[in-house]
Amino acid sequence: MQRKIWLALASSLSVGAVAFAGSANADVGIADIMGDQSTTEDIVSYGLGPRAQRYSPLATIDKSNIKNLFPVWSFSFGGEKQRGQESQPLIKDGVMYVTGSYSRMWAIDIATGEELWQYDARLPEGILPCCDVVNRGAAILGDKVFFGTLDAKIVALDKDTGKVVWRKTIGDYEAGYSYTAAPLIVPTEKHGPLILTGNSGGEFGVIGEVQARNPETGEMVWSRPTIEGNMGTLMGAESTMTGTKNESWPGDMWKNGGGATWLGGTYDPDTKLAYFGTGNPAPWNSYLRAGDNKWTSARIAIDPEDGEIKWGYQTTPHDGWDYDGVNEFIPFDMEKDGKMVKAGASADRNGFFYILDRTNGEFISASPFVQNITWAKGIDENGKPIFDPDNRPGNPAESADGKKGKSVFAIPSFLGGKNWMPMAYSQSTKHFYIPSNEWGMDIWNEPVTYKKGAAYLGSGFTIKPIFDDYIGSLKAIDPATGDIKWEYKNKAPLWGGVLTTAGGLVFTGTPEGYLKAFDDETGEELWKFQTGTGIVSSPITWEQDGEQYVAIVTGWGGAVPLWGGEVAKVVSYLNQGGSVWVFKVPEQLAAR
Amino acid sequence: MCGLLGKSANGTANAMLATKRTISLRQRFVTRVSVVKNSVPVVCLFLCLIFPALSHASRDIPADPFESVMWKLMVERHFPGGEVVFDSRVKVSAPKSAENQFHVPITVDATELSDVEEIVAVADLNPIAHILTVRPKKSLSFVGFRVKLQQATPIHVGVRTSDGVWHMGGAYIDAAGGGCTAPAMAHGMNNWMKTLGKTRASTRRESPLSARMTIRMRHPMDTGLAAGIPAFFMNQITVQDAAGETVAELDLYEPVSENPTITIKPKVGQVEETLSVLARDTEGNEFGFPLTVPAVAAQ
């Protein structure tokens, strides 16, 4: 009892501290978000800038002094909810805003590592997250922080107190909708800043959608479904249909067609377009949905003013392998053949690294970034995959009993050449750093019909490594040529994001628990630190009081232990954690 | 403090009471406190010149008739600012012993006091003490509610009048343990979220000028202290009249019982009147409904 009283007293004191800090803290403006990449003292967007290049111009920590990087503090997410921490923290005015699994968020005083507030979403029974209880991060604007919850809601919290300002529904969690990505804040001329969200649930036959809301009130401004035949909305009324009904879908299959926008999006201030990846078509059994199945396994460019799709590009039309191509599309300017191209890059689940013209979606190039790809013989000059019909899992209707089609071994596995974990683009080396995995799968099809809230796959599968000694592979790739410049091999599959800096460093975490730093030109491992549990999140770096900090969220989990098949053996010994680690070079070593 | 005294009416009242207290300090209940406003400058001058040190001293806090070990902390945290006096006009009705520690009925009647701005109720020995705060605007200084108790505890109710004085009342309730750390009954049902905010309410006329309104809204009122269940509770109720004027505002906290049951007494005219109730929980869910007070019956 006494202990509880003191705890209560302590918490009331810290609330006082927040109120004080709050009065000194400036609000975040849309210009701060758009300029986030160049302002090193804060991180107010997912990906260190709207283009999500995950590149920091900071060079205080470099190849020569990285050996002196030591932890400052570690903060526990506590309780029994430790698993599955995929979050990237935000930094503003000496406060870290970090989300955790099971739809939680904390504000932490960076100077001391002490909690300022915690928010725990009250989740209903019966939520249906397909691929663990993760959250990937928050957005910040004005005096609010925003994040999505596993029951498919978006919540706005007062950034100084953690109290709910508004909370809105993205989708029906009982039908399989959930939300795990970081929201994206974009400027518009007509509506002011908008907060954009995607959705998750492609395994339950949901309809992928992007929704745009007023960040002040949470009121919906527009919505744009990804599956053709479905209607968008604008200012509360129906706007336009996505595509043309039944152009690339048979019958009513478009009504539960998937295409979930579960990884969020990026924004390019240059083209004023928001880029979203769209997930796998539903069901997985491709014989039930003849056609290209637009816009599944695609990148779409949306005009934030009205939610209209400006262009779309399918990486895996008529997907039959769960090549769930939501992968982030990173705008960057590429010098090719002496010309500067307004390009965008995406490393797809299907194993190919795509360069598109970000102004119009035209195909520029595609090159494999994982080995031994089997599902396609290549990508043709128009950007279409050259399918290998022998390596598409067979039609169950053609089997003797109609219950199971021919099984094939396909590479990459459905968890992808690259999954959710974001790559980084260095403005110093002009290279992309891709966290990838070398694995394949046995996959076969089964009959399936849609039922609300039930898995809608029509497939069976098991994942297998393709090399004895490693699965994870961090690669440096030159986007102009598609050449792989260096590779770091990791025994367990890589499941965390990448960060690169002007200091010539590439950071990423491993399931074995190490945060590692590599030389951006050679791939030489320069530094590592054991955090005590698997890392499946994205590192950040920023400057505070003249010192460069690095932070990483730790906590093993995500889709690999749930879906990994044979691979699960490689990772079954990994222990759960659940914390944030913050590093810097101690003052007494900084000069050396 | 002295600077403040010159500026605010509340402050002046406090100063007056500070002098009065030296006489009544040993009394457990002050039955009547009079405030003489026109002597303010003299008092201020007196205090400022003679007792500059006192101007920063904490308030003298009267002894607690319930002998609560938490009393001073409760006053510091929940009854800040003005003078604190025990006052028999703050009537707190509660059972001597709780039949059910999850639902302990408490009624606060401070209708004999005028110029009431705020009613604050705390359960001293609950892990979360603050039960609720009521700001009666166009309603009588009356509130009924049910509370969860973690163990036998004193209840303190402070009624702040516009002069800043906290008029205190209270009760001591014996109770079995565990009211705040057990999961809500709702969690035995897997569809409890569907009925969130479902309301039963009744109003009846008590007098030509007032009504009695009781509402019961479905809500688990999770304290965050039951294992694995985060805090989730109804935290704001606002009652408005037909013209949109506030009748009463209530801030609820974790100790309020599951399916909060609240009684207030709106001041109304003699004709039929429709009030509106707006409630909000800590997750931003909002619930609203109208409630009609019947006209005075024809004689």
CB pair distance less than 8 Å for A120 and B128:
no
Tell me, yes or no, whether B77 and B52 share the same domain. no
Tell me, yes or no, whether B8 and B139 share the same domain. no
Indicate the class that CATH gives domain A2-590. mainly beta
DSSP string for residues in A542-589: EEETTEEEEEEEE---SHHHHH-GGGHHHHTTPPP--EEEEEE--HHH
Is A4 an 8 Å CB contact of chain B?
Answer: yes
C-alpha distances in angstroms, A555 versus A98, A521, A537? 13, 29, 8
Q: What is the pLDDT of residues A15-41, one digit of tens each?
A: 333 334 344 468 999 999 999 999 999
| Cα-only R_g, chain A | 23
Of A254, A381, A242, A232, nearest to A312 by C-alpha is: A242
Nearest chain B Cα to A4, which residue?
A: B127
Query: pTM, whole model, 2 decimals?
Result: 0.85
Handedness of CA A542, A548, A554, A559 (dihedral sign): positive
CB pair distance less than 8 Å for A125 and B193:
yes
Q: Which residues contact A481 (CB under 8 A, 6 or more apart)?
A: none
Tell me, yes or no, whether B74 and B42 share the same domain. no
Tell me, yes or no, whether B129 and B44 share the same domain. no
**Gap from B33 CA to chain A (nearest CA, Å):** 33
DSSP string for residues in A277-340: EE--BSSS-GGGS-S--TTSSEEEEEETTTTEEEEEEESSTT-SS--------EEEEEEETTEE
Is B118 an 8 Å CB contact of chain A?
Answer: no
Of A107, A128, A83, nearest to A262 by C-alpha is: A128
Tell me, yes or no, whether B187 and B291 share the same domain. yes
Most B CBs within 10 A among A6, A102, A122, A127, hence the mutation to make, goes to A122
Q: Which is catalytic among the residues A322, A324, A348, A520?
A: A322
Handedness of CA A284, A286, A290, A294 (dihedral sign): positive
Tell me, yes or no, whether B225 and B261 share the same domain. yes
Is A165 an 8 Å CB contact of chain B?
Answer: yes
CB pair distance less than 8 Å for B193 and A124:
yes
Torsion, Cα B127 B129 B131 B135, to 10 degrees, reads -150
pLDDT in the model for residue B48: 41
Is B128 an 8 Å CB contact of chain A?
Answer: yes
Cβ pair A405, A391 in contact under 8 A: no
C-alpha distances in angstroms, A25 versus A50, A109, A115, A142, B283? 22, 12, 17, 11, 25
Nearest chain A Cα to B128, which residue?
A: A8
Q: Is the residue at B138 inside a domain?
A: yes
CB pair distance less than 8 Å for B125 and A120:
no
Residue A246's SS3 state is coil
Q: Is the residue at B273 inside a domain?
A: yes
CB pair distance less than 8 Å for B285 and A167:
yes
CB pair distance less than 8 Å for A120 and B231:
yes
- The domain locations on chain A are 2-590
Tell me, yes or no, whether B155 and B15 share the same domain. no
| CA A435 – CA A487 distance, rounded (Å) | 10
CB pair distance less than 8 Å for A79 and B70:
no
Which positions 87-106 of B are in contact with A (Cβ < 8 Å)? none
| CA A71 – CA A73 distance, rounded (Å) | 6
pLDDT in the model for residue B188: 81
Tell me, yes or no, whether B92 and B187 share the same domain. yes
* Chain A residues with beta carbon closer than 8 angstroms to that of B224: 120
Domain-ending residue, one of B11, B37, B57:
B57
End-to-end C-alpha distance for chain A, whole angstroms: 51
Of B110, B214, B92, nearest to B165 by C-alpha is: B110
Residue A22's SS3 state is helix
**Gap from A584 CA to chain B (nearest CA, Å):** 34
**Gap from B129 CA to chain A (nearest CA, Å):** 9
CB pair distance less than 8 Å for A164 and B283:
yes
Residue A419's SS3 state is coil
Is B188 an 8 Å CB contact of chain A?
Answer: no
Tokens describing residue A24: 């000194």
CB pair distance less than 8 Å for B127 and A126:
no
Tokens describing residue A394: 């067979």
| CA A439 – CA A411 distance, rounded (Å) | 6
pLDDT in the model for residue A573: 86
Residue B283's SS3 state is coil
Segment (H or E) for A4:
helix A2-24
C-alpha distances in angstroms, B63 versus B16, B28, B164? 20, 7, 19
* Chain B residues with beta carbon closer than 8 angstroms to that of A154: none
Q: Are strands A498-501 and A55-56 parallel, antiparallel or unpaired?
A: parallel
Q: What is the pLDDT of residues B188-233, one digit of tens each?
A: 887 888 899 999 999 999 999 999 999 999 999 999 998 888 999 9
Cβ pair A175, A256 in contact under 8 A: no
Between A1, A80, A164, which is nearest B284 by CB? Answer: A164
| CA A51 – CA A332 distance, rounded (Å) | 8
pLDDT in the model for residue B29: 37
Mean pLDDT for B73-98 is 96
Cβ pair B124, B116 in contact under 8 A: no
Nearest chain A Cα to B233, which residue?
A: A122
Most A CBs within 10 A among B189, B221, B283, B286, hence the mutation to make, goes to B283
CB pair distance less than 8 Å for B230 and A122:
yes
CB pair distance less than 8 Å for B224 and A120:
yes
Is A3 an 8 Å CB contact of chain B?
Answer: no
* Chain A residues with beta carbon closer than 8 angstroms to that of B190: 125-126
**Gap from A157 CA to chain B (nearest CA, Å):** 10
| CA A265 – CA A379 distance, rounded (Å) | 24
Is B152 an 8 Å CB contact of chain A?
Answer: no
Confidence band, pLDDT 50/70/90 cuts, at residue B14? very low
Is B127 an 8 Å CB contact of chain A?
Answer: yes
* Chain A residues with beta carbon closer than 8 angstroms to that of B129: 8
Name the DSSP letter for residue A29.
P
Segment (H or E) for A55:
strand A55-56
**Mean pLDDT estimate for chain B:** 83
Tell me, yes or no, whether B73 and B35 share the same domain. no
Mean pLDDT for B290-298 is 88
Confidence band, pLDDT 50/70/90 cuts, at residue B25? very low
For chain B, the domain total comes to: 2
**Gap from B25 CA to chain A (nearest CA, Å):** 28
Cβ pair A286, A312 in contact under 8 A: no
Residue A64 exposed, middle or buried by CB count within 10 Å (0-12, 13-18, 19+): exposed
At residue B9, φ and ψ (nearest 5 deg) are -60, -40
Tell me, yes or no, whether B289 and B217 share the same domain. yes
Domain that holds residue B4: 1-57
| CA A474 – CA A498 distance, rounded (Å) | 9
* Chain B residues with beta carbon closer than 8 angstroms to that of A163: 282
CB pair distance less than 8 Å for B283 and A124:
no
pLDDT in the model for residue A451: 93
Residue B13's SS3 state is helix
Is B76 an 8 Å CB contact of chain A?
Answer: no
pLDDT in the model for residue B45: 41
Nearest chain B Cα to A149, which residue?
A: B283
For chain B, the maximum distance between any two Cα atoms, rounded to a whole number of angstroms, is 67
Alpha carbon of residue B294 to chain centroid: 27
Of A164, A257, A153, A149, nearest to A206 by C-alpha is: A257
**Gap from B272 CA to chain A (nearest CA, Å):** 34
Cβ pair A137, A206 in contact under 8 A: no
* Cis peptide upstream of residue B166 (ω within 30 degrees of 0): no
The percent of residues above 70 in pLDDT, for chain A, comes to 95
CB pair distance less than 8 Å for B230 and A121:
yes
Q: What is the pLDDT of residues B129-150, one digit of tens each?
A: 999 999 999 999 999 999 999 9
Residue A204's SS3 state is helix
Is A569 an 8 Å CB contact of chain B?
Answer: no
Between A79, A122, A165, which is nearest B222 by CB? Answer: A122
CB pair distance less than 8 Å for A4 and B232:
no
Nearest chain A Cα to B130, which residue?
A: A8
Q: Is the residue at B63 inside a domain?
A: no
Most A CBs within 10 A among B76, B78, B280, B282, hence the mutation to make, goes to B282
pLDDT in the model for residue B190: 79
Q: Is the residue at B141 inside a domain?
A: yes
Segment (H or E) for B204:
strand B199-207
Is A1 an 8 Å CB contact of chain B?
Answer: yes
Tell me, yes or no, whether B253 and B284 share the same domain. yes
pLDDT in the model for residue B298: 67
CATH at B80: 2.60.40.2470
Tell me, yes or no, whether B192 and B274 share the same domain. yes
Q: Is the residue at B62 inside a domain?
A: no
Cβ pair A467, A570 in contact under 8 A: no
Is A157 an 8 Å CB contact of chain B?
Answer: no
Residue A322 designated active-site = yes
**Gap from A8 CA to chain B (nearest CA, Å):** 7
Confidence band, pLDDT 50/70/90 cuts, at residue B35? very low
* Chain B residues with beta carbon closer than 8 angstroms to that of A165: 284
Is residue B163 predicted with pLDDT exceeding 50?
yes
Tokens describing residue B18: 């500070």
| CA A217 – CA A431 distance, rounded (Å) | 40
Q: Which amino acid is residue A246, in one-letter code?
A: N
| CA A6 – CA B126 distance, rounded (Å) | 12
CB pair distance less than 8 Å for B127 and A8:
yes
Between B127, B228, B285, which is nearest A80 by CB? Answer: B228
Between A8, A126, A155, which is nearest B128 by CB? Answer: A8
Per-residue pLDDT in tens (0 to 9) along chain A, 592 residues: 344 444 343 343 343 333 343 444 689 999 999 999 999 999 999 999 999 999 999 999 999 999 999 999 999 997 778 889 999 999 999 999 999 999 999 999 999 999 999 999 999 888 888 778 999 999 999 999 999 999 999 999 999 999 999 999 999 999 999 999 999 999 999 999 999 999 999 899 999 999 999 999 999 999 999 999 999 999 999 999 999 999 999 999 999 999 999 999 999 999 999 999 999 999 999 999 999 999 999 999 999 999 999 999 999 999 999 999 999 999 999 998 899 999 999 999 999 999 999 999 999 999 999 999 999 999 999 999 999 999 999 999 999 898 999 999 999 999 999 999 999 999 999 999 999 999 999 999 999 999 998 999 999 999 999 999 999 999 999 999 999 999 999 999 999 999 999 999 999 999 999 999 999 999 999 999 999 999 999 999 999 999 999 999 999 998 888 877 778 878 888 888 999 999 999 887 876 5
Q: Is the residue at B213 inside a domain?
A: yes
Cβ pair A185, A193 in contact under 8 A: yes
Residues recorded for chain A: 592
DSSP string for residues in A331-382: EEEEEETTEEEEEEEEE-TTSEEEEEETTT--EEEEEESSS---SEEEE-TT
CB pair distance less than 8 Å for A155 and B283:
yes
